[in-house]
Amino acid sequence: MTRYFFAVISILLLFPVIVNAQIRKMRPLNELINTTEPGWALVQDWIKQGSNKIEILPKDSNRADEALYQIQVTTRSPMGAIVYETGGLLVDNGWIRVLGSGHEKLDRSLPGWNKGKSYTQTGEQPSFLLIADDVLGGFFAINNGGLAMNEGIGSVFYFAPDTLEWENMEIGYSEFIRFCCSGDIVGFYEQFRWKGWQQDISRMNGNQGMSFYPFLFTKEGKDLEKVSKKPVPIDELWALQMELRQQAGH
């Protein structure tokens, strides 16, 4: 599968507190909200100037407060800004879902989705941080040693359902958001869009992904026009694919 990667350009720190301690001292909400240099203005500019369709899901203030507190990232960073200012972002008609604080169309927050997957209790240092996913059951995560010990710390990795491998995109969170806004999404997914995909995903919500059978990593699953497709909860896809990856010896 051809993938279009971009140069590593760190615009802002990704999640500075997460990598510094095993159990973090939780900062109060007022210390996380940056009113002098808010990252949301930068993200809005990327969206406005971008060529890809982005739907900004409106936030619920209570959910936003709770999500920002749990993730412990300031709103000066793009990650903190998206968590605090949005319920999430739907990219290219919902093909990619960037996690925020949660919305009825994407009813899971960034910290809530990670709990039980990359960490077990609030304040614990995660070995990776899931930040987005797609309708194929592909997952985007920032590596903190759990995806690759000796490479790509702080980089976004993509879990490819056609290989069951975590692939280093060699970009940080900010560049990932810029990719969502202006990157070649068609090229990134060039082999994985079937006829009528727009109609199929329009009937899905952000808590679902498409289940394919035969699986995409099999020889029989390479032709998406011939495989069966069914929307299933994204949690089921995550659990299934992590199990299949383990069985494959990855």
The residue-averaged pLDDT of 207-217 equals 97
**Mean pLDDT, residues 32-48 taken together:** 96
What are the CA-CA distances from residue 57 to residues 82, 99, 105, 151, 221 (Å)?
A: 10, 10, 8, 34, 33
Segment among 112-116, 145-149, 168-172 with least mean pLDDT = 145-149
What's residue 150's pLDDT?
Answer: 79
Average pLDDT of span 192-218: 96
The answer to the question of residue 2 being in a domain is no
Confidence category of residue 22, pLDDT binned at 50, 70, 90: low
pTM (predicted TM-score): 0.89
pLDDT of res. 109: 98
Confidence check: pLDDT of 3 > 80: no
Q: pLDDT tens digits, residue range 156-191?
A: 999 999 999 999 999 999 999 999 999 999 999 999
pLDDT tier, 58 (very low <50, low <70, confident <90, very high otherwise): very high
pLDDT value for 15: 43
Average pLDDT on 103-108 reads 97
What is the overall mean pLDDT for the chain? 90
Domains of the chain: total: 1
Does 127 reside within a domain?
Answer: yes
Burial class (CB in 10 A: 0-12, 13-18, 19+), 195: exposed
Q: Which amino acid is at 65?
A: D
Q: Pick 250 or 92 by higher pLDDT.
A: 92
Region 35-54: mean pLDDT is 96
Is residue 8 in some structural domain?
no
Q: What percent of the chain has pLDDT over 70?
A: 90
Confidence of residue 4 (pLDDT cuts 50, 70, 90): very low
Residue 18 lies in a domain: no
Residue 122 pLDDT grade (very low, low, confident, very high; cuts 50, 70, 90): confident
Sequence-distant (6+) residues with CB within 8 A of 208 are 135, 231, 232, 233, 234
Q: Is residue 7 part of a domain?
A: no
- The larger pLDDT score, comparing residue 50 to residue 150, is at 50
Domain-located, residue 64: yes
**Domain span including residue 184:** 29-247
Structural domain includes residue 93: yes
Strands, DSSP E only, in the chain?
54-57, 88-91, 96-99, 128-134, 139-143, 156-160, 165-168, 208-213, 228-233
Say if 11 falls within a structural domain: no
> Both tokens of residue 72?
């412990």
Q: Please, what sign has the CA dihedral across residues 77, 19, 88, 176? A: positive
The answer to whether 180 and 169 are in contact (CB under 8 A) is no
**Can you read off the two tokens belonging to residue 60?**
């619920």
Mean pLDDT of 42-60: 98
Determine if residue 233 is left, alpha or beta; phi over 0 gives left, psi from -120 to 50 gives alpha, anything else beta: beta
For residue 114, pLDDT beyond 70: yes
> What pLDDT score was predicted for residue 23?
67
Give me the pLDDT at residue 248, please.
84
Of the candidates 72, 104, 70, which has an alpha carbon nearest to the alpha carbon of residue 87? 104
**Burial (CB count <10 Å: 0-12, 13-18, 19+), residue 62:** exposed
pLDDT of the residue at 120: 87
